[in-house]
Structure 1
Amino acid sequence: MIDRLHYISQPSANGSHLEAIEKVLLAGARWIQLRVKNQPEEEVLALALKVARLCKVHEARLIVNDYPQVALAAGAYGLHLGLNDMPVAEARAIVGPEMIIGGTANTYAHIELRAAEGIDYIGLGPYRFTATKQNLSPVIGLEGYTRLMKQMQEAGIHLPVIAIGGIEAEDIPPLMQAGLHGVAVSGALTRQPDLSLTLREMYNNLQAVHSNC
């Protein structure tokens, strides 16, 4: 099962990925993607093992970004691959048939590619400009999501699509109305002083839209 709300890790202010993840878990998050860039793999593994223990305590699922060997060693629920990361088939050979694999997309051509690769969900974005991404793809916007979801439906592609990129709580209802499965957020949670309130609002928005479908 692919959760409707994904938290993409980033260091908290004057803190670390681990501190930010623990705060989000304590607030009630259920799906954590560990996204650490430009670090040695052994350091990412050491962090992933700590995050995996936290996720187990809080009954949340861990997704590791970019590193299939780390995902396997940490006992992660899933792996997420960017467009320039290892090919899905190669990663699948490492992690095995049971692990969830998600993939990034920015265009309809990317969506077709991901579907052909046999991934389990698509992270489609960015919705708007975000400082989290170093090499930002063209912004999609609400109209772009609506168009892409219609193209997928017409082509018979029924993969869960997660909107990502600068998303705030108030963006969720219109995005879900466009037909997306869920959203991924990072700064919208990391920088919030009242995480529980913000997270509850996000889950409520997701549930309200889908319950009316």
Structure 2
Amino acid sequence: MPYPDRFYPVVDSLAWVERLTKLGVGTIQLRAKDLDDGQALQMVTDALAITKGTPARLVVNDYWRAAIVAEAKYLHLGQEDLAEADLKAIREAGLSLGISTHDDAELETALAAKPDYVALGPIFFTTLKSMRFEPQGIPKITEWKKRIGAIPLVAIGGIKFEQAAEIFAAGADSIAVVSDVTQNADPDARVKQWLGDSAKAA
């Protein structure tokens, strides 16, 4: 299976990890903010227990120390976390690394870390977090995919299922989805929609 999967939900709780795992999602990012080291380690350990023995791959957001201790396999870092992280320790632990980018300078920083994938965002306006970056738009996906070549490109930010075909066509290898799942009136049906389309498009 390619990593990350074409449909790449990002959630903030163990309940969501469990729900998505049961639905057959292949790549799930756990992004929970403001945890101390102990809380982070407990949450990562619990999430790994949920996905163990299933096809789901758990991606730990930010908490690289917890990811190493809990023996996770996948890690995602934002730019601020990347600046503080011990990349040598992360690589020695065998963690696959994805990095968030929002502009050209951040892309250069990310590529210097030799990531396993690069995330570009926000593609569209998003209300989930205050962004100091303007929406990138779909044409930026094509431009960045040319620049990074074989490295998988993940599009993120305000993306709904109805826009997926256009975003894949523009060059994205994967789409990270937050509100289109977590704030959907029928999340399970939406996930199945994404899974069906992603499988067809793969």
TM-score (norm 2): 0.88
Structure 1 distance, partners of 2:189, 2:64, is 34
Please tell me whether the aligned partners of residues 159 and 177 of structure 2 are also in contact (alpha carbons under 8 angstroms).
Answer: yes
Output one character per residue of 1:33-54: Cα deviation in whole Å (capped at 9) or x when no partner: 1111122121111111111111
Query: Unaligned regions of 5+ residues in structure 2, if any?
Result: none
Q: CA deviation at 1:111?
A: 2.4
Give the letter aligned to residue 159 of structure 1: I
Give the letter aligned to residue 150 of structure 2: H
Give the letter aligned to residue 46 of structure 1: Q
* Match 1:142 to one of 118, 138, 144: 138
Task: Give the number of equivalent residue pairs.
Answer: 200
Give the letter aligned to residue 196 of structure 1: D
Identity of aligned residues (%): 29
Please tell me whether the aligned partners of residues 71 and 95 of structure 1 are also in contact (alpha carbons under 8 angstroms).
Answer: no
Change (3 A) 1:87 1:96: farther
Secondary structure, aligned partner of 2:150 = coil
TM-score (norm 1): 0.84
Q: CA deviation at 1:170?
A: 0.9
Please tell me whether the aligned partners of residues 31 and 61 of structure 1 are also in contact (alpha carbons under 8 angstroms).
Answer: yes
Which residue in 2 is equivalent to 1:21? 17
Query: Unaligned regions of 5+ residues in structure 1, if any?
Result: 11-16
Q: Which moved more, 1:107-116 or 1:85-94?
A: 85-94
Which residue in 1 is equivalent to 2:7? 5
Q: CA deviation at 1:5?
A: 1.8
Which residue in 1 is equivalent to 2:195? 203
Output one character per residue of 1:172-196: Cα deviation in whole Å (capped at 9) or x when no partner: 1000000110101112112334333
Q: What value does the CA root-mean-square deviation take over the aligned residues?
A: 2.1
Q: CA deviation at 1:77?
A: 1.8
* Match 1:174 to one of 166, 178, 182: 166
Q: Which moved more, 1:40-49 or 1:133-142?
A: 133-142
Change (3 A) 1:22 1:29: same
Please tell me whether the aligned partners of residues 28 and 196 of structure 1 are also in contact (alpha carbons under 8 angstroms).
Answer: no
